Structure 1
Amino acid sequence: MAATQVIRSEWTKIRSVASTVWTLSLAVVVTIGLGILISALSKSEYDNLSQESQVSFDPTYTSFAGMSLGQLAMIVFGVLVVSNEYSTGMIRTSLAAVPQRGTLLSSKVAVAAALALVVGMVTSFITFFLGQAMLGDLSASIGDPGVLRAVIGGGLYMTLIAMFSMGIATMLRSPMLSLGILMPFFFLISNILGAVSATKTVGQYLPDQAGSKIMQVVTPVNDDTPYGPWGGLAIMVAWVAAALLGGYVLLKRRDA
């Protein structure tokens, strides 16, 4: 089967499954809604902050506060795109139709990543503008240094989260096992490693902590991170590449 036909097939699969559509919609709603709420709360509490906190206040990054929960939906989306076929047994049909497993996986990732990128970029820009509206005189402009990079980076971050999840789901095949590992990893283990001084150096190189640097415009006080926004994104890309490569290797070596 030609690559273009495989891509069209994967697009049909994704849009025909209600759960994947709902998870993307949830990512948009949660990210924007929490971004608006936290931006409004930050505006009302700004005068109560210490002088140090006011100096390091980042209006752009504040508007992306909902990204921490929005990425949850992107993780679920990435897992479902892959593991739905395993849970229903459709993977056997897919592999029979497309024996070239690399073509099947790359087409699936390309279609899902393109969809996640569109959703991520739209979400990121809307979140930024509505968040800045809530911040009022504390707001940043899209033309300010580093702001456009951060907003575009927000969309890239959401896309990479989905792609990383696809790689993990390809390796594990089970939706429950994949989510059972990814959820604690991003929402518990990563935060603990990043907060504890003894493990902070390790935490800085985890995909979410490194990737989120791209959304920062103002460097926090006492931030000793050894890389900048683009360096952090490069680290996240490396994690994504490793996950997808691992998924490809295991897909090639084992039966459906």
Structure 2
Amino acid sequence: MALSAVLKSEWTKIRTVASTSWTLILAFLVTVGFAALFSATADPSKIESFDPTATSFSSMQFGQLSLIVFGVMVVSTEYSTGMIRTSLAAVPNRSRFLLGKMAVATGLALAVGMLTSFVSFFLTQALLGDAGIGIGEENVLRAVVGAGLYMALLALFCMGVAAMLRSSIAAISILIPFFLILSNVLAGFEATRPVGQYLPSNAGSRIMLVVPDAFGSPETPYGPWGGIGIMVLWVAAAVIGGLLVLKKRDA
């Protein structure tokens, strides 16, 4: 099957499964909703190293739960239903099949991520009033675009892990603690921070900061784009791992 046909097929699969659509909608609603709530109740004068731009993405940890589920379900649902055999019979080239699926899902996650980041930014800046900042200020557009890029990379990383594990329960059980607990714990203690700062979420989220030490964030040996670069390496490793597993194991 040609790549264009694979992409069309995967688009049809994703848009016709209600659960995957709802996870993206929830990612948008949760991220924007909680960011607005935090901005409406924040008192910038009492916050050390206040970063109005980063405030727009203060709820990203909540929204990324939905993105984790989205990335996992895009890949693992076919295994749980047994449809993976039919899909691979239609597309014998396994690399083309998986990369086509990931390309469509990542494109959707990127579109939702950009919509989320821009809506969240403009809404929260309006709520911050005089403490807000314009998108034309230095490094602000980079942070807003970077937040959308972060969401897409997060979803793609989860797809790679799901392809390796081939189980929704196993993948979600590992990924949620990894992003929401392990990353925060390792980054929260001075002894473990040198390791924690190189985990994908901690490194990638630096792109969303305009003030480097916003909200007491520790210094890192890399900048915003360096952090995204580290996250890209994690994503590449997950995708390659998923491809190798798909090629070597029976469906």
Tell me whether the two structures share a fold, i.e. TM-score over 0.5. yes
2:41 is the counterpart of 1:46: no
Which residue number in structure 2 is paired with residue 31 of structure 1? 31
Aligned partners of 1:173, 1:58: CA distance in 2, in Å? 40
Deviations 1:195-251 (CA, angstroms, capped at 9, x unpaired): 011100100000000000000000116732000000000000110000000000010
**Residue 131 of structure 1 corresponds to which residue in structure 2?**
124
Amino acid at match of 2:88: L
Report the alpha carbon displacement of residue 46 of structure 1 after superposing the two structures with TM: 2.7
- Following superposition, the deviation at residue 47 of structure 1 comes to 3.2
* Long gaps (5+) in structure 1: none
- The aligned counterpart of 1:217 is 210
Shift of 1:150: 0.2
* 2:8 paired residue number: 8
Name the counterpart of 1:121.
Answer: 114
- Identity %, equivalent residues: 61
- What is the aligned counterpart of 1:245 among 213, 222, 240? 240
Q: How does 1:82-231 map to 2 (within 5 A)?
A: 82-220=75-213, 223-231=218-226
Q: Which moved more, 1:122-131 or 1:218-227?
A: 218-227
Tell me which amino acid in the other structure corresponds to 2:225.
Answer: W
Which structure 2 segments of 5+ residues have no match? none
Q: CA deviation at 1:35?
A: 0.6
- Deviation string, structure 1 residues 132-175 (Cα, Å, up to 9, x no partner): 01111110110000000000001000000100000000000000
TM-score (normalised: structure 1)? 0.96
State the distance in 1 between where 2:207 and 2:219 align.
Answer: 16
CA contact (8 A) 2:117 2:144 kept: yes
Distance 1:164 1:222, change over 3 A: closer
Counterpart residue identity of residue 228, structure 1: G
Q: Which position in structure 1 is the counterpart of 2:249? A: 254
Aligned residues: 249
SS in 2 for 1:141: coil
Q: Any conservation in 1 of the 2:212–2:219 contact (CA below 8 Å)?
A: no
**Aligned match of 1:78:** 71
Instruction: Give the Cα–Cα distance (whole angstroms) in 2 for the partners of residues 104 and 165 of structure 1.
Output: 17
Aligned-pair RMSD on alpha carbons? 0.9
4+ runs deviating over 3 angstroms = none
- Describe the superposition over 1:116-136 as per-residue Cα deviations: whole angstroms up to 9, x where unpaired: 111100110000000101111
Give yes or no for the alignment of 1:68 onto 2:61. yes
